Amino acid sequence: MDSYHNDIDDLTHLRLMIYPTIKKENNMLKKMMLMSVLCFSTSLMAASLADSHSERSDCESCHKDKTPSADYVFENEQCVACHGEMKTLKGDAHTKHDGVLTCTNCHIAHEEKAPADSCKECH
């Protein structure tokens, strides 16, 4: 065989050796990208409490006079009417803060802020 064909055979052999490694690295990269997308998509898709409540009922279930209050604070009675008293709700924060805080101190209805993030504002 001439040197040209030897070079081609060597190149083919090299490709066959390297290709599986490259393919594994590409698959790993694809998996890492997918995991990143899945991890961060929940924060991008976060809906406000108002959105989740509006899926179950109309705005008037919280806004009895059909308009939001000027400071966007709703009375605890509105929340308690559907969710029950704070002392009966799950979570340590509910039992420790019963009577001290209102529901909207932590659960901000028209923002995408999670209740857990609210703790950092005081603690």
Residue 111 tokens, joined: 């923002």
Taking the C-alpha atoms of residue 104 and residue 115, their distance in angstroms, rounded to an integer, is 10
Q: Count H helices and E strands in the chain, helices first.
A: 6, 0
Domain at 59, CATH number: 1.10.1130.10
**pLDDT tens over the chain, length 123 residues:** 555 555 567 777 777 666 666 666 677 788 888 777 766 655 555 556 667 777 777 777 777 776 766 655 566 777 878 888 877 777 777 777 777 777 777 777 676 655 556 677 777
- 26 and 75, same structural domain? no
- 57 and 75, same structural domain? yes
- 64 and 27, same structural domain? no
Q: What is the three-class DSSP state of 3? A: helix
- 90 and 54, same structural domain? yes
- 31 and 6, same structural domain? yes
Neighbouring CB atoms inside 10 A of 81's CB total: 11
| pLDDT the model gives residue 115 | 59
- 79 and 32, same structural domain? no
| Element spanning 6, H or E | helix 3-44
- 53 and 1, same structural domain? no
- 71 and 36, same structural domain? no
Q: What angle do CA 42, 48, 50 make, to 5 degrees?
A: 150
| pLDDT the model gives residue 77 | 74
47 in Cβ contact with 114 (< 8 Å): no
Instruction: Look at the chain and report how many structural domains it folds into.
Output: 2
Which range marks the domain in which residue 34 is found? 1-45
Q: What size, in residues, is the chain? A: 123
